[in-house]
Structure 1
Amino acid sequence: MVSTLLTSMNHPDFAARAPSLHPIAAAAFLTCLSALSATPALASDADTPASEAAITLPAVHVTASPEGALGLSLPSTSGSRTGIATLDLPASLDHVNSDTWQERGDSRMADIIGRTVGMTPLSATSYNSLSFSTRGFTGTNSVGIAEDGVRLGVASSTTPYPANSWGYERVEVLRGPASIVYGSGTVGATANVVRKQPTRETVREVLLGAGSHGSAKLGLGMGGALSETLSYRVDAYGHYTNGEHDMSRASGGKLMSTLRWQPTAALRVELLADVSDEKPARYFGTPTLNGAIVPELLGRNFNTDDSTIRIKDKRVRARAQYQINDELSVSNELYHFKADRYWRNIEAYRYNPAAQTITRSDYIELTHDLEQAGNRLESKLKAGAHQLVVGWEVSRAKFGYASSGFDYSTTMPVNATYHGWDNTSAMIPRFTTAATTHDFYAEDAWTLSERWLLLAGIRRDLTDFNRNDLIGTGSFGKNLGGTAWRLGLTHKLNAQTSLYGQVSQGHDPVTNVLTLNLANRDYKLTTARQIEVGMKQQFGQGLGEWTAAAYRIEKKDIITRDPNNSLLSVQGGKQHSQGLELSTVLRLSPSWRLEGNYAFVDAKYDQLIEAGGADRSGNRPSNVARNTANLWTHYTTHSSIGRWQASLGARAVGSRFADNANTAVSGGYTVWDAALSWRPQPGSTYRLTVRNLGDKLYTYSAVSNARASQAYPGEGRRLDLTAEFTF
């Protein structure tokens, strides 16, 4: 397995495409190799004396993980509903806990997920939306977001929740087709955000923060017992910033609450209620030329000064779990989500350097009224060597959409004053949609022997969709169906080292299901198949962990143009991706810890024709970087006045294209971050974080089309000071 990975890394084409990332990639890779070399050679069972086996066996039970660990010894709650350990899971799963992201000074969920292997955020740093690129696939139609395993319906590519990390204990990212666990729209990966749970012990947490651009934040968390059978958890959070660009002020807050009733060890009932209210920055990037940011326009905001964004969410859930006996348990989860969203912005810009003008288009004034209710009933059975899960989930999502006309544009001098909403089109209700989905799934983790585990699963999704066009004749109904499956095999070389392989199939919609229209009424779900092999290992008696994965994903039925009529959109396009991913956590000494990951992806369109008959076959999809890497090193020391920790990290992303024509190029970048924390006593931590130490100008994500050529620049240098208390 290792020789195969080394062969892939040493391929001439691979090396030629990764020069800008060699320092970080090499550090991550060499750390993984050092871990492997630290593993003693394995003797066969027949060659191992019984006395040695008796001595060795107790040491293989890892009861603690290193700080910042990959979570290999933890149950795989996000990768499989069977609950097997991540080390045994025949799939690639990343794990980041709250201690790790606090050490790094991260609080935006986009940053936390974006530091996991192979994940590149696409949404603006000033705008709280969760859109990513991974394994060659991009956007909310291919990379899903879930909270405690439940996904909210996506409308118009908008996934703004959860925006920040307060109230959550960890994030787990399942890479590759995840439809077997999460349903449609998860071919690239799914990030599952797990919230903090009620406890019997009293917990109090306070976060105070202030930083650059007039930013401030406050987080409060508390939990404990209310009686012999009742416990609770409440988290509140608020933030504010003036932003680093014109009109990029942002603010928001949320309240999360959980009440748990546990009258017996076998029965547990929970009620959850959350509300959030966000006013993100009204900044949609800066114009570019051939994909490059125009420095003299940086900092300007070409939106109207009376623009606004408002996002409100309400969430209620009820969960019950009953352990009937040692082998059988039943659980049920009932939920209701509601989101109200309003935008009024000018979002597309094109720069004419010769005339020194800006053409502004996409005058967008619209509302989203999204509501979703659902229920998931699940049963788990342990029968000998089998851990079986059978479930049925039903959900109904309703979406209402109102907007003004978008076909409006203005051309103004670069130095003009951009104020006043000058689109006179009235905002009117356009359509409503409703989608009722039934999901049936089953999984079986079959322990064939002490060294072999077979994981098999299948899921069938059935959606009944209806659209009611309020201003035209576009009303219609449609049924969508998709079948996902996974077959994986894990072989344990020993209790700390496993090899795995899997084949799986998932599916994505061609567009968000809730916004289907006449133009895409006849389309079915796209399908993708993946083959993946990998290795996972813990070593040094829990002092380190590392993983490696190699994969190939082939996706078909993407939207393309009819070869005989380029005006006609049809299904039949294809794309594929293949790559290698490495991640590691290594404690070099009691004082030094290293965390790193590296991903290489080769993604191409096998068949794609765009408007006008342009053939994009062989091109790389937009906003997909061949190379990404993350590296963190932490040094901890103790003195008479407390515990000190200094951290230095880097995030590297290779060059990308802003269009499928591969003509507009966004250059690659490496950005360094640093953090210094002081813990004078247990329960009190003071932390200074510096983001983008070198104040580097770089492109976070970009777009290039007929209406717009613009980019979201990454954040400049930013300082944050926080005080964290637990008592």
Structure 2
Amino acid sequence: MNRLHPLAAAIALLCATGAGAQDLPTVTIQGAMLDEGLALDRPHTTGSRLGISTLDLPASAESLSAATIAARGDLQVRDAVTRTTGLTDSSTPGSGISYSARGFNGNSSIALLENGQRLLVGSGTATYPADPWGYETIEVLRGPGSVVHGSGTTGAIVNAVRKMPRRESSVELLGGVGSSSSLRAGFGATGALGEQSAFRVDAYAGRSDGFIDRGESRHGKILTSMTSTLAPGVTLYAQLDHAEQEPRRYFGTPLVNGRLAGHLRDQNYNAGDAVLRYVDDKAMARLNWQVAPGLVVSNELAYMKARRDWRNIESYAYDPVADMVDRSDYLALRHNQEQTANRLEARWTSAANQFIAGWEASAIDFKHTNSSPYRGASTVRPTGFDPGLFDSPDPLRPNFATDTTTHAFYLEDAYRASERLLLMAGVRHDRYKVDRRNLLADSGHFDATLISNAVRVGASWKLAPDTSLYGQVSTGSDPVTSILSLNLANNKFKLTSARQLEAGVKQMLAGGRAEWTAALYRIKKDDIITRDPNNPALSVQGGSQTSQGAEVSASVNLAAGWRMDANVAYTDAEFDELLEAGNVSRAGNRPANVPKVSSNLWLTHRAGDWRTGAGLRYVGKRFISNANTQTLPAYTTLDASIGWALRRNVQLQLNLRNLTDKLYAISSYGSSQYLLGDERHAELTVHWRY
């Protein structure tokens, strides 16, 4: 759409002529323990835009610092996120990055943000941010608890918070070498620009030959940002980013007699010339104005662009009679997405009350190109085969395009009724207008309007200065499919609605040497897609799902030099009402990709210049479909790290993954093939800071 280009040009001009941000944040150095703990005493920007600490926030929230992520050796955002409470990995090459939380799965129910901004999901795929380099913290908010970030997705929100420019100069370098010819390098620098400005640059690149045949992957990015004080009380922040990924062109391993086959672990059944590539660009400028001592007004203008390409053989099935693997679904896809967004916000603060109001507007162009109906077939031996080339009988053609405009209004208020009681309330209204054009024929043009209202009301009560009880009632909504991909079959559907009740406790003990949280919740989601009881061929809204559970997390100094971080989540999720093909009832069944139990344990020991750590990750059995007839087996993996401070500012670290060489499946890709987790591997890194 042509209306995007003037806004994009304006952002480019802002990035070229100056930069700035909110007032530079205060950094508290806590020595050796900086990378540990639940950070209950720090603000959680994803849970609230009012600077409320995690201890006081009446919601289930968690943060991971960059130091914690590095100490554990987690190389991808999803490695770090799935060490938080109750989030499990359900990623596939089609979904990009995908999680399950509180009984809900996928990128329509778990939102991925970068600095509070969300690239709206097209065709179920989210790919950015992928690695943690350049981020200060990774924040997670569980349940439909947000009224200031999106429409209140039901399962969770994951937000990668950027490292900010600072006038104090610092430089960091990272180098790594590991199994399967893995190499990676990172660079970060910040410092002053003139009298009133500061800059930050973070660059990262990596490659690997992978742990399977033809498992090569490449990735790289550069993140740039600048801040400037334009006048007393007026600051400007600007950023310009570029990221490229070429993940492994791997769509899973076929099951043999319904089981994982160890002798096929290293096989890749994709075409020899397969393509899998993601490119993301982002530009943003934010102006803050301190209008009065208690009033700040800001305006944030952002432009985001995503280009994604797939050309793969995606389906495999083992034929036990012929001892061959049948390949099908020669699938070529391309996404081109551009999003321009603006957020105008005002924040007012008094002695006992904080209030924020905002208006968001965006315009999104999404174009979907594919090779439907994805014909093509071939057969290869299970091992020692020629993968061949991608030879599809179907041309790659533009299929459809959507133009989407959104408007959202939100209010959030925090009132400290007393030293012990904090009351919070918020409301959000979202409106999406989607215009779809069929690019293959003149028919199929339509427009649709979707509306969402989200509410959160909560309170936290301090039993003691370091102990809070909290409760909240919140609502949210998810689309029945990606909003940008609406078609004739679902354009009349409204957004689903979800309601949550949550209560919990948060406590810091012994001056922060121990922290723990516990939460109980119940979520009811209505208006999910089901079949018409009177016409099984017709899809209607009317299904429902209930999810309830308990979550516990803790971080404890066990003894001098020893610390334990642990969490466990129990999720009891089931469909209350759902009819699928043939009017088969799924009532009482568990939704796909939802484990009943997941947990993490990480034990750290420090002795002089040495730091060692080991961690267990457990993910319970999951079903691959709502029919609950086939499962992904439960698995437990063991990871470890050994770090040595060569000098005060140089850290050498050995990261060990899947030490027991466990054969396990992360997710499924249809009923006949599973995507396997990595085999045992190691990486040696050196991290230099100055």
Question: When the two structures are superposed, what TM-score results if normalisation uses the length of structure 2?
Answer: 0.93
1:229 aligns with 2:196: yes
2:455 is aligned, of 479, 482, 485, to 485
Q: Which structure is higher in helix share? A: 1
Aligned counterpart, 1:673: 639
Amino acid at match of 1:68: E
State the 1:709 CA deviation: 1.8
State the 1:360 CA deviation: 2.3
Within a 5 Å distance, the mapping from 1:577-726 to structure 2 comes to 577-638=547-608, 643-704=609-670, 708-726=671-689
Check conservation: 1:292, 1:666, Cα contact below 8 A.
no
- In 2: Cα distance, 1:383 partner to 1:637 partner: 47
Amino acid at match of 1:119: L
Shift in alpha-carbon separation, 1:292–1:186, aligned structure 2, 3 A = farther
- In 1: Cα distance, 2:61 partner to 2:183 partner: 33
Aligned counterpart, 1:110: 78
1:170 aligns with 2:137: yes
- In 1: Cα distance, 2:492 partner to 2:310 partner: 30
1:255 is aligned, of 203, 222, 238, to 222
Check conservation: 2:527, 2:544, Cα contact below 8 A.
yes
State the 1:410 CA deviation: 1.8
Moved over 6 A (4+): none
SS of equivalent residue, structure 2 residue 55: helix
SS of equivalent residue, structure 1 residue 182: coil
1:78 aligns with 2:42: no
Amino-acid identity (%): 44
1:527 aligns with 2:502: no
State the 1:198 CA deviation: 0.3
Shift in alpha-carbon separation, 1:290–1:170, aligned structure 2, 3 A = farther
Aligned counterpart, 1:465: 434
Check conservation: 1:128, 1:163, Cα contact below 8 A.
no
Within a 5 Å distance, the mapping from 1:220-619 to structure 2 comes to 220-264=187-231, 266-288=233-255, 292-415=259-382, 416-472=385-441, 473-619=443-589
1:144 aligns with 2:111: yes
Q: Which moved more, 1:424-433 or 1:525-534?
A: 424-433
Q: Deviations over 1:275-322 (max 9, x none)?
A: 111111100111125763222322211111111112111110001112
Q: Deviations over 1:484-527 (max 9, x none)?
A: 00000110111100000001000000000000000101100000
State the 1:613 CA deviation: 2.0
The unaligned stretches of length 5 or more in structure 1 are 1-61
Amino acid at match of 1:204: V
Aligned counterpart, 1:202: 169
Aligned counterpart, 1:99: 67
- In 2: Cα distance, 1:135 partner to 1:352 partner: 37
Check conservation: 2:569, 2:597, Cα contact below 8 A.
yes
- In 1: Cα distance, 2:267 partner to 2:94 partner: 16
Shift in alpha-carbon separation, 1:133–1:455, aligned structure 2, 3 A = same
Check conservation: 1:363, 1:405, Cα contact below 8 A.
no
1:158 aligns with 2:125: yes
Check conservation: 2:100, 2:594, Cα contact below 8 A.
yes
Aligned counterpart, 1:123: 91
State the 1:263 CA deviation: 4.0
Aligned counterpart, 1:56: none
SS of equivalent residue, structure 2 residue 582: helix
The size of the alignment, in residue pairs, is 658
The unaligned stretches of length 5 or more in structure 2 are 1-27
- In 1: Cα distance, 2:544 partner to 2:508 partner: 38
Check conservation: 1:218, 1:239, Cα contact below 8 A.
yes
SS of equivalent residue, structure 2 residue 529: strand
- In 1: Cα distance, 2:567 partner to 2:187 partner: 32
SS of equivalent residue, structure 1 residue 612: helix
State the 1:420 CA deviation: 1.5
Amino acid at match of 1:237: Y
- In 1: Cα distance, 2:148 partner to 2:320 partner: 50
Q: Deviations over 1:651-681 (max 9, x none)?
A: 0111111121111112111111110000022
SS of equivalent residue, structure 1 residue 594: strand
Check conservation: 2:521, 2:550, Cα contact below 8 A.
yes
Shift in alpha-carbon separation, 1:114–1:661, aligned structure 2, 3 A = same
Q: Which moved more, 1:646-655 or 1:257-266?
A: 257-266
State the 1:185 CA deviation: 6.4
What RMSD in Å do the two structures reach over aligned CA positions?
1.6
Check conservation: 1:290, 1:663, Cα contact below 8 A.
no
- In 1: Cα distance, 2:146 partner to 2:469 partner: 23
Check conservation: 1:344, 1:364, Cα contact below 8 A.
yes
- In 1: Cα distance, 2:603 partner to 2:569 partner: 19
Amino acid at match of 1:391: G
Amino acid at match of 1:131: S
Check conservation: 2:48, 2:146, Cα contact below 8 A.
no
State the 1:402 CA deviation: 1.1
Shift in alpha-carbon separation, 1:437–1:127, aligned structure 2, 3 A = closer
Check conservation: 2:330, 2:377, Cα contact below 8 A.
no
Q: Which moved more, 1:280-289 or 1:683-692?
A: 280-289
Check conservation: 1:140, 1:185, Cα contact below 8 A.
no
State the 1:460 CA deviation: 0.1
Amino acid at match of 2:431: L
Amino acid at match of 2:387: Y
State the 1:566 CA deviation: 1.6
- In 2: Cα distance, 1:709 partner to 1:120 partner: 22
Check conservation: 2:374, 2:394, Cα contact below 8 A.
no
- In 1: Cα distance, 2:489 partner to 2:328 partner: 23
SS of equivalent residue, structure 1 residue 213: coil
State the 1:63 CA deviation: 9.5
Shift in alpha-carbon separation, 1:505–1:548, aligned structure 2, 3 A = same
State the 1:326 CA deviation: 2.2
Amino acid at match of 2:444: G
State the 1:596 CA deviation: 0.6
State the 1:128 CA deviation: 9.2
Q: Which moved more, 1:257-266 or 1:530-539?
A: 257-266
- In 2: Cα distance, 1:67 partner to 1:164 partner: 18
- In 2: Cα distance, 1:257 partner to 1:679 partner: 29
State the 1:206 CA deviation: 0.2
Check conservation: 1:459, 1:483, Cα contact below 8 A.
yes
- In 2: Cα distance, 1:471 partner to 1:406 partner: 13
Amino acid at match of 2:616: A
Q: Which moved more, 1:420-429 or 1:216-225?
A: 420-429
